[in-house]
Amino acid sequence: MLYRILRAIISFGIRHYYREIRVINKHLLEKEEGPLIIIANHPNTLMDAWMVGFANRRRVHFMAKATFFNSPFKRKLLGALGMIPINRKSDGAVSGVSNKDSFAACYELLERGEILVVFPEGTSFLERKLREIKTGTARIALEVERRNQGKLGLKVVPIGLNYISADSYRGKVLVHVGKSIEIDDLWKEYEINPGNAAKLLTERFRVELSRVFVTLDDSAREDLVEQLSTLFVTKYTNRTQVSDEMNFMKSVQNRLEEYSLTAPWKVDDIQTETTKLAASLQFLGIKPDFLDRPYRPGLFIRQFIQSWLFVISTVPIFLVGFVHHVLPYWFIGWIVPKLSKEVEYHAPLSILLGLVLYPLNYAGFGLIVHFCFDFSWLQTLLYLAVLPLFGTFAHFFMRYMKHLNSKQRFGRFAHRRSAILQNLKEQREQLKDLIFRD
């Protein structure tokens, strides 16, 4: 019961924090009814566990670092939530936590046909890189199969967690579920040579995780791919979903890897042209989105007038939403970086604080209107029910105003300097040809 309640609360929080969460191949999880180990990359600390739980209709159990279980109360609470502690060499042993007991708990829950989630990298860093995968997950899988002489039917399912603006409010997430990894051919090898069997299975894990996760091995390459994604995946193209953005990044990554082997000079040219185009757009104050928008003066002016009429007519709604939400929004933005310097914790901390502070904020306003403005309790409840909608609109309104400001600059620029705008479009087409044309 506690797990279901918290899952519902956390699911509400992440759905609101990220503007798009897309799960690819969810049916591959839903068709698996027996014992299952889910392995996933680990870029975003607690958020990764919540995302895996969000994607599963069945209850999941997590292996987590023992430092979370440093008191009897925490051990009891986290245990009730399906978390299993494990002592890591880098952290040292936590009193009251035994790895032998933890592994035994993993074997028992898998033998009951349940789901175990493991992040085999062991550590969490916000980067598009698959770090070294530890053999512990493979050993758990092989050992439980050995204990049951291969009759358990254990499957291992890889999940790639791909974030766009992972630590930012209204970012995007692509949860990519891969095909299950068979281990039937290795458990007998594990009886003879445990170390070799674990290494072979771990290598399979690495290969399959690489298929569902956009992996970039160095920060410079990651910056280049993300910059290219910003230039080419815009709101005026058909590639508007997070899956489209990830597919584009994957295709660029594949081309860059190919060129690094066959034509290294081409990678340098792509980097140079990308930097040049991005710098030109920034200097001129034009968002890449507008390179995909044709400029028709009559249509543009008509849409611009409609946009301002919408803004003027909805200012009262914005003001209501802004006044009721500005304090907790500002406070969370201020306190989260102070609570943790590690960016990987910013998103989960923001959600946890939001789930506490916004209800308290609403309760305060509810008491004010009830006692100061003589609202009935029914009127107060109706007032509180619409506040989240007003808050969401206020955030949309501020984003829309930024877009409208950019649109206005673009209109003036397109009208006065159409030749320069056309030149920028041609530069981008040449860059596209440089990347994708053989």
Q: Do 181 and 224 fall within a single domain?
A: no
**Per-residue pLDDT for 94 more than 80?**
no
94, part of any domain: yes
Report pLDDT for 240: 67
- Asked if 174 contacts 246 with a C-beta cutoff of 8 angstroms, the reply is yes
Q: Do 253 and 175 fall within a single domain?
A: no
Return the top range by mean pLDDT from 130-134, 338-342, 383-387.
383-387
Which of 169, 187, 212 finishes a domain?
Answer: 212
Q: Where residue 415 falls among pLDDT bands split at 50, 70, 90?
A: confident
CATH number at residue 150: 3.40.1130.10
Cα separation, 118 vs 62, whole angstroms: 6
Report pLDDT for 357: 96
Number of domains in the chain: 3
pLDDT per position as a tens digit, 298-322: 888 898 899 999 999 999 999 999 9
Q: Do 344 and 245 fall within a single domain?
A: no
167, part of any domain: yes
Q: Which residues of 199-218 are buried (b: 16+ CB within 10 A; e: fewer)?
A: ebbbebbbebbeebbbbbee
Q: Do 303 and 260 fall within a single domain?
A: no
Q: Do 271 and 338 fall within a single domain?
A: no
Q: Do 174 and 224 fall within a single domain?
A: no
Cα separation, 304 vs 358, whole angstroms: 35
Q: Do 266 and 199 fall within a single domain?
A: no
Q: Where residue 269 falls among pLDDT bands split at 50, 70, 90?
A: very high
**Per-residue pLDDT for 238 more than 80?**
no
Average pLDDT over the chain, rounded to whole? 90
Q: Which of 192, 195, 95, 85 is nearest to 139 (CA)?
A: 195
Secondary structure (H, E, C), 405-419:
HHHHHHHHHHHHCHH
- Secondary element (H or E) of residue 211: helix 194-212
Domain range for 100 is 2-212
What DSSP assignment string belongs to 341-360?
A: S-GGGHHHHHHHHHHHHHHH
110, part of any domain: yes
Cα separation, 239 vs 368, whole angstroms: 46
Percent of the chain surpassing pLDDT 90 = 58
Q: Where residue 274 falls among pLDDT bands split at 50, 70, 90?
A: very high
Q: Which of 154, 52, 48 is nearest to 107 (CA)?
A: 154
Report pLDDT for 139: 94
**Per-residue pLDDT for 157 more than 90?**
yes
Give, in order, the Cα–Cα distances in Å from 178 to each of 212, 326, 387, 427: 6, 41, 40, 37
Which of 178, 197, 212 finishes a domain?
Answer: 212
Cα separation, 315 vs 321, whole angstroms: 10
431, part of any domain: no
What is the mean predicted confidence (pLDDT) over 327-341?
95
Q: Which residues of 266-297 are buried (b: 16+ CB within 10 A; e: fewer)?
A: bbeebbebbeebeeebeeeebbbbbbebeeee
Q: Do 197 and 237 fall within a single domain?
A: no
> The whole model's pTM is what?
0.88
Query: Looking up tokens 């081409």, which residue turns up?
Result: 266
What DSSP assignment string belongs to 364-411?
A: HHHHHHHHHS---HHHHHHHHHHHHHHHHHHHHHHHHHHHHHHHHHHH
Cα separation, 391 vs 326, whole angstroms: 9
Q: Do 383 and 273 fall within a single domain?
A: no
**Per-residue pLDDT for 90 more than 70?**
no
- Judged by average pLDDT, the poorest of 100-109, 292-301, 318-327 is 292-301
Q: Do 44 and 153 fall within a single domain?
A: yes
126, part of any domain: yes
434, part of any domain: no
Q: Where residue 331 falls among pLDDT bands split at 50, 70, 90?
A: very high
**Per-residue pLDDT for 86 more than 90?**
no
Report pLDDT for 377: 93
436, part of any domain: no
Q: Do 301 and 284 fall within a single domain?
A: no
- Asked if 362 contacts 387 with a C-beta cutoff of 8 angstroms, the reply is yes
More confident residue, 76 or 13: 13
pLDDT per position as a tens digit, 121-154: 988 888 888 889 999 999 999 999 999 988 898 9
Q: Do 157 and 237 fall within a single domain?
A: no
Task: Tally Cβ neighbours within 10 Å of residue 46.
Answer: 19
Return the top range by mean pLDDT from 230-244, 278-292, 362-376.
362-376
Cα separation, 271 vs 281, whole angstroms: 16
Q: Residue 183 has which token pair?
A: 């281990």
Q: In sequence order, which residues have a C-beta less than 8 Å from that of residue 409 and are 6 or more positions away? A: 285, 286
Which of 255, 272, 293 finishes a domain?
Answer: 293
More confident residue, 329 or 90: 329
285, part of any domain: yes
**Sign, CA torsion 369/375/381/383:** negative
